[in-house]
Amino acid sequence: MEFYRFLCFLFCLSGQLLLSLPFTTAQLCHHVQSDALLQLSNSLTVETDTDRRCDPKTTTWKNGLDCCSWDGVACDNITGNVIGLDLSLSCLQGTLHSNGSLFALRHLQSLNLAFNDFRTSPILPELSVFTELRHLNLSCSNFSGLVPVEISHLSKLVLLDLSFNDTETYGLKIENTVLKMLVQNLTKLRELELDGVDMSIVSPSSFMNLSSSLTFFSASGCGLQGEFLANIFRLPNLLDLDLHSNDITVPFLKSNWSKSLESLILSYTSISGKIPESIPEFENLKTLDLKNCRLTGSIPSSLVNLTKLTKLNLSRNELTGHIPSFVGKLEQLIYLDLSFNNFIGVLDFGVLSKMKNLQALRLSVELILAHNSMNYTFPKLETVALSSCNLTKFPLFLNSLKKLRNLDLSRNKIGGQLPKWFWDVGKGRLESLDISSNLIEGRIQQFPWKELTNVDLSDNLFQGPLLVPPLSIFSFWAAENGFSGEIPSSFCKISSLAVLELARNNLSGSIPQCLGNLTNLYYLDLSANKFEGTFPWSLDNCASLAFLNVSYNKINDTFPKCLLEAPLPWIINLQYNEFHGQIDPPIAPFLSCKLDTFSISNNNLGGQWPEEYFLHCFNMWSVDLSNNRFEGPLPIPSPGTVLYSIANNKFSGKVSPLICNATELVIFNLSNNSLMGTLPECLMSFSKNLSVLNLRMNMILGVIPRKFAKDSKLGTIDFS
C-alpha cells in the first residue's frame, strides 16, 4: 500500500513536471483540433459594440501556440483532445454551418456558447456528433427554429440549457415528439433549462418521465398549457423547479413531496384551490413563489414548519382569513410578500419584527397593523410596501430602518404633516418613495435623499411651492395636490428626468422654456393648472415625448411643430387652451405605430405607467385638440389613432377621405368648427370600432353616407 502511494506520488510529480514544460504542453494540442478552433474563430466576427457586456476570448487565440492554453479551451491532460469549449459571453456574431469546423471537435464533453449572437441560425442536427457531450449550454445566444431531434442522441448529457431571455419573441421551438424523446433518452440530465423556448404544442404530460437525477428544471414562459403531472413534485433529487408564466395547473399532492426541493416558483400560472396542508413535506424549501395564481382559502397553519424559508411570495391571489401570527416564526425570511389578497383582521407588528433577516416586506389591503411602535426594529429591511393597509399614521418602525431603499405607503389614510423623523428614513439612501393617495399636508422644501430616483406624492394635500427634487430623479409624480407658484427652472438641471406629472395643482406662470432641453422626458402632464404663455418646445426638441397633456391651462401658442416630427407614438392632449393658427402640414404625420398590446382602458393613465408600457409601442393614440382656436384645414389623424377630437375650434374646408385611413378610431369628434362640403363616402364604415361620431355645428351639406361597417358599434351620431 505504502509502496503504491509512493509510486503514485512519483507519477503525479512527473506528471506535474511534464505539464510545466513548454515543449511538452505544445504537443498536447492536436493540430487538427487547433486548426478547427481557428477556423471556427475565423468564421465568426467579434462584435464588442453590443449592449451586452462581453469579453472576447477568441481574439487571443494564436496559431502555433498550444490550443489547450487558449482562453475557453480545455483539453484532456492525457490524450490532448479538446474536451471543453467555453465561448460564453465572447461577443461572437455569425452563423454556424453544418460543414463548420466546430463539428470536428468530436471529443467535446462540454460546449458553452451562451450569450453570443448566432443571428437566429438553427441548432444544427450535426451536434449529434458530440457523443461524449455532457454539458451543452446555448442559452441566450439567438438560435432559433425547431430544436432538432438529434439532441436526444446526446444521451450522456448532464446539463442542457436552451433558455432564452427575450420575452418579446420566441427563438427556439420544441415539438412534442422531440421533447418526448429528449425526456426518454437523456436519462442522466441533472440540469434542464428551457425558459422561453416555445412549447405551446408540447403536452405537459410529456414531462412525465423526466430523469430522476434532475436537480434543476426550469421552463418558464414557454407557452405550456394544461395540467402538469404531480410526479414532478416527487423527483427525488430536485432542488429547483421553475415553471412560472405558463398557463398550467398542477394538482397538489397529498403526500410524498420531494424532500430535496429548495426553490419552487410557480408564479403567474393557473394554479388554483387551497395551498395544501402537506406543503411542509418540502422540508428544505427556501423559496416559495406562488404570486399571481388563483389560490383561495387561508394560509395553512402547517406552513410554519417550512422553517428554512427565506423567500415567500403569495401576493396577488385570492387568499382570505387572517395572516397567521406564526409567520413571525419563519425567522429566516428575507423576502415576504403577501400583498393584494383578501386578508382581514389585525396583524401585530411585534410578530413581524421577529423576522430579523427581513429585507423586503410587502403587505396590503384592509389590514390593520397593531402595536405601531418604535420598539420593533427590522435591522435589514430594504423594501417596505404597505400599500392599502388602512394606516392612519406613519409607522414608527420606519424610523429605525437604516437600510431602507424603497418605501411604498400609498393608498392609506395617513394624515397630518410629514413627521420630522421622516427625513431620516433610510439615512439619506432612499431610492424610491411612494406616499400617494393619502391625506398628507404641509410644505416640502427639499428632499434629503440624494439617490432618489422615483417619487410619488400624488393625491395628497401638499401646498406651497413645488420642491426641487434631487438631480437623480427619474420620475416625479405630484398630481392632485395644492402646489402653487411656478415650476422652478432648476427642474431643467435634472437631465435624467423622464416623467413629470404635475396635473391638477395650482401651478401658474409660464412653463420654463428650458424644459424643452430635457432630452429624456417622455411623459409630461401639466394639465389643469394655470399655466400661460408659450409652449417650451422648439422645433427639434421633443423627440422623446410620448405622452403630453397640457390641457386645461391658458397656453397661447401655435401647434408645437416638433410634435409632428417626433418619432415616438403619442398621446397628445392640448384641449382647453389658447392654441391657435394652422397646423401645417395638415396631414399630421403622426407616425404609424401599429401594435396590439393595449386596450382602451389604459388610455386613462391615472397612476404610474407599468414598465411594459415602454417596451411596446402602442396604438393607443389619442389626439385631443378640442376647445382651442386652431384654424385652417382639418389635420388628418394617423392610421393608429383611437381618439380624435378637434371640437370647438375654427378648422375649415372639406372633410378629406384620407380620414378613413384611421381605421382604429373609436371616438371621432369634429363638432363646432367651420367644416364644409360633402362627407366622404367611407365615413360610416371605415372603422368597425367607431362608437362616437360627432359632426354637429359645421356647414356640411349633401347626404349622409349609407354604408355602415359590419357589426358597427356606433352608439352616438350627431349631425345637428
Q: If binding is defined by CB under 6 A, does position 134 make contact with ligand NAG?
A: no
Closer CB to ligand NAG, residue 281 or residue 382?
A: 281
Q: Does 517 bind ligand NAG (CB under 6 A)?
A: yes
Is residue 610 within 8 A of residue 586, CB to CB? The reply is no
Contact 626, 649 (CB under 8 A): yes
Label residue 696 exposed, middle or buried (CB < 10 Å: 0-12, 13-18, 19+).
Answer: middle
Q: Least distance to ligand NAG from the beta carbon of 14, Å? A: 14
Residues 80-99 that bind ligand NAG (CB under 6 A): 88-89, 97, 99
Cβ proximity to ligand NAG: between 325 and 556 the closer is: 556
Interaction of residue 120 with ligand NAG, rule CB under 6 A: yes
Q: Is 656 in the site for ligand NAG (CB under 6 A)?
A: no
Name the one residue in this structure whose C-alpha cell is 397646423: 583
Q: What is the distance between the terminal CA atoms of the chain, rounded to a whole angstrom?
A: 109
Q: Does 307 engage in binding with ligand NAG (CB under 6 A)?
A: no
Q: Could you say whether residue 492 binds ligand NAG (CB under 6 A)?
A: yes
Please state the φ and ψ torsions of residue 417, each to the nearest 5 degrees: -85, 165
Of residues 342, 375, 496, 678, which one binds ligand NAG by CB under 6 A? 375
Contact between 159 and ligand NAG by CB under 6 A: the answer reads yes
How many residues form the binding site for ligand NAG (CB under 6 A)? Answer: 43
Q: Please answer whether residues 116 and 142 qualify as being in contact, where contact means their C-beta atoms are separated by less than 8 angstroms.
A: yes
Interface residues for ligand NAG in 285-304 (CB under 6 A)?
Answer: 301-302, 304
CB of 404 to ligand NAG, least distance (A): 21
Indicate which single residue of 296, 390, 399, 510 sits in contact with ligand NAG (rule: CB under 6 A).
390
The candidate with the shortest Cα–Cα distance to 575, out of 627, 610, 635, is 627
Taking CB under 6 A as the rule, does residue 366 contact ligand NAG?
yes
Site membership for ligand NAG, residue 38 (CB under 6 A): no
Contact indicator for 286, 307 with CB cutoff of 8 Å: no
In 3D, which of 582, 572, 571, 573 has the Cα closest to residue 553?
573
Residue 181 engages ligand NAG in binding (rule: CB under 6 A) = yes
How far apart are CB 101 and ligand NAG at their closest, in Å? 8
Q: Which residue sits closest to ligand NAG, CB atoms considered?
A: 514
Does the CA dihedral 106-110-116-121 come out positive or negative? positive
In angstroms, the CA 33 to CA 25 distance is 15
- Pick between residue 517 and residue 652 the one whose CB is nearest to ligand NAG: 517
From 396, 500, 399, 401, select the one nearest 455 (Cα to Cα).
500
Q: Which residue has the cell 422615483?
A: 454
Examine residue 146 and tell whether it contacts ligand NAG (CB under 6 A): no
| Closest distance of CB 89 from ligand NAG, Å | 6
37, 29 contact by CB (below 8 A): no
The Cα angle at residue 560 between residues 557 and 562, in degrees rounded to 5: 160
Q: Does 142 bind ligand NAG (CB under 6 A)?
A: yes
Of 539, 661, 519, which Cα lies nearest the Cα of 594?
661
Cβ proximity to ligand NAG, 514 vs 704, nearer residue: 514
Cβ closer to ligand NAG: 298 or 390? 390
Q: Which stretch binds ligand NAG (CB under 6 A): 64-72, 150-158, 495-503, 683-691?
A: 150-158
Q: 183: Cβ–Cβ under 8 A, 6 or more apart, which residues?
A: 206, 207, 208, 209, 210, 211
Does residue 678 interact with ligand NAG by CB under 6 A? Answer: no
Decide whether 447 or 579 has the Cβ nearer to ligand NAG: 579
Q: What is the enclosing helix (H) or strand (E) of 20?
A: helix 2-20
User: Would you tell me which residues interact with ligand NAG (CB under 6 A)?
Assistant: 19, 77, 88-89, 97, 99, 112, 114-115, 117, 119-120, 137, 139, 142, 152-153, 155, 159, 161, 165, 181, 185, 191, 193, 301-302, 304-305, 366, 368, 371, 373, 375, 390, 492, 514, 517, 556, 578, 639, 658, 661
